[in-house]
Amino acid sequence: MARYRSLDEIFDEEDELGLLKNVKPRRPASSTPDDRNAEIVAEVNAFYEAHGRLPDEGGQTIEEMKLGTIWQSIRGMPTEAMLAADKNRLLGYGVPVSEFAFEKETTEVPQEPSWRDEPEDEAVPSSLDDIFAEDDEDFPEAVIGLRHVTPAAEREQPSHRADMFPCSDFQLFEQGFIDMQAKLETGERDVSPIEDRQELRINEGDFIIHRGLLAYIAEKTEHTRRGGKPDQRLRIIFSNGMENDPLVSSLRKALAADKTARYIHRPGLGPLDPEWEEDALELTGTIYVARSKSERPEIKEVRHILHKIGVTSQDVRRRVADARNDATFLLADVDIVATYELRNLSRMKIEDLLHRFFDAARPSGLTITDRFGKKVFPREWFYVLPEHVAEAVKLIQDGTMHLYRYDPTVQKIERIED
C-alpha cells in the first residue's frame, strides 16, 4: 500500500468524499503588532457605530471589558495603520491634535464611571441617616419599582378561616369523649405519636389528641382540590366544647408541627371489621339544596334547574362559606334554596340514598378546572328542582322511597310499576 510522504501529496488527491468541500481557510494571524492594533481600532469603530459610545473597560460584558481595556492601552500611540482604520476619528478623543498627522477639531467623549473606580469620599454615606436621606429619583424604575405584585387593597381576602368556635351541639359528643377518656386510662385504646412527614389517613369517627385535647373527626366532606391536589374539608370537635373545620391537608400540617399529637387507634382490623365503627357516633344533620351563582356560561344558563344536594352535620352557612374556593361548589358562591333537618338518621346513608335516587339526573359532562389546570368532576350536582328534593325527603321519612324512581325525561318522581 502506497504511503504518502507529505501533506501536499494528500491534498493533491481528488476529494472523492467531499470532506474538504466546506472547509474554510483559516485567517492568517496579523503579521505585526501594528496590524493587530489596527484591527482593534476597527472593532472599536464598529462598537461605536452600534452603541453610540466607546467600549468601557468596566462594562457589563466580558467582550466589552476586553475591548475597552485594549483600547485604553493603544489609543495613546496611534500609527499610520491605526489612523487609516479609524474612520470615525475616535483616536482624537482626549489626545492633543498636534500629535497626529492630520489637522481636525475633535471633541472629548465623556467616559462613564466604572464600578472598578474608587468612590469619592463625599459619595460614601457615613450613617444610615445619610442613606435614607438619599434622593431616589436617580434610581431606575426597574430597581425601585415592584412588578407582578397585587396591591394590598386589591388582594382578595379569604372568606373562610378554619378558626376555633363554640360547638352548638356539643351535647351529642360529650358522652363520646367521656367514654374515650375512660378507654385510654384503662389501656383499652392504643395511641401512637404522629411522625413528621407521615401520610396520616383521616377517617370519620377517628379520635386524635391535638393541642393537648381529645379531638373527634365528626365529618369528612366530599372531595375537592386545593393546590392541584385532592383534599377534603373536616369537622373536628374538641373535648373543651370547641370545633373547627380545616382541610385534611391543613390538619396534617398542624399535627406534624404538634409534638404532643397522638393518633388513637380503633379496635378491629379495618373498616370491614364489625368492631371498627365502635367509637363512631351516629350524628343527625341537615340536607341542603344549593344553587350556583357561577357566571360561567355553561352553568349560568342552567342554574335554575342545576342544584347541589348535600348533607352536613355542621351549620349549613358555615359549610358553604368557602364555596368560591371549593371545586365541589364549582368555584363559585351559592344560594341555599332549601334545607331539611334529619332526625335519628345516618347522615352518610341519607346522602348516599339521595344521590343514588337522582343518579339519572346527574350531568355527565360537568367538570370544573381549578387554577392549577386540574379537572374536577363534581358528583353532587343534579338537574332537579328543589320541590323534587322535598318530595324525595318526604319519601325517606315515610320509608317508601324504594317504591319510587325519578324520571329525568319528564322531571317527575313516579311510582315503580309492579
Are both 315 and 258 inside the same structural domain? no
Q: Is residue 138 part of a domain?
A: no
Q: Is residue 353 part of a domain?
A: yes
Res 20: pLDDT: 62
More confident call, 234 vs 20: 234
User: For residues 130 and 185, which has the higher predicted lDDT (pLDDT)?
Assistant: 185
Q: Check: CB of residue 74 under 8 Å from CB of residue 85.
A: no
Q: What does DSSP say about strands 404-407 and 165-166: parallel, antiparallel, or unpaired? A: unpaired
Last residue in a domain, options 93, 109, 125: 109
- Is the pLDDT confidence value at 224 over 60? yes
Q: Which residue has the cell 501533506?
A: 7
Shared-domain flag, residues 365 and 404: yes
Average model confidence (pLDDT) across the chain: 78
In a domain, 404, yes or no: yes
Residues 6+ apart with CB under 8 A from 175: none
Shared-domain flag, residues 169 and 76: no
Same domain, 256 and 349: no
Among 109, 133, 157, which residue terminates a domain?
A: 109
Assess whether 92 and 178 both reside in one domain.
Answer: no
Q: In the structure, what pLDDT confidence band is assigned to residue 190 with cuts at 50, 70 and 90?
A: confident
For the segment 130-145, what is each residue's pLDDT rounded down to a tens digit? 766 665 556 556 555 6
Is residue 13 in a domain? no
User: What angle do the packed helices 33-51 and 62-74 form, to 10 degrees?
Assistant: 120
Structural domain contains residue 371 = yes
Of residues 228 and 232, more confidently modeled:
232
* E-strand stretches of 227-295: 229-231, 234-238, 242-244, 262-264, 286-292
In a domain, 272, yes or no: no
pLDDT of residue 103: 42
Do 244 and 322 lie in one domain? The reply is no
Whether 294 and 248 share a structural domain? no
φ and ψ at residue 300, rounded to 5 degrees: -60, -40
> How do the residues of the chain divide into helix, strand and coil, expressed in percent and rounded to 5?
35, 15, 50
| C-beta of residue 290 within 8 angstroms of C-beta of residue 329 | yes
260 found inside a domain: yes
Number of domains, the chain? 3
Range scoring the smallest mean pLDDT among 71-80, 111-120, 297-306, 361-370: 111-120
- Answer yes or no: do 296 and 236 share one domain: no
Do the domain assignments include residue 58?
A: yes
**Please, which residues have CB within 8 angstroms of residue 304's CB and are 6 or more apart in sequence?**
291
Residue 339 has pLDDT above 60, yes or no: yes
Q: Which residue has the higher pLDDT, 3 or 165?
A: 165
From 79, 109, 139, the end of a domain falls on 109
- Structural domain including 50 reads 32-109
pLDDT of residue 384: 92
pTM assigned to the model: 0.52
Instruction: Using pLDDT thresholds of 50, 70 and 90, give the confidence band for residue 389.
Output: very high
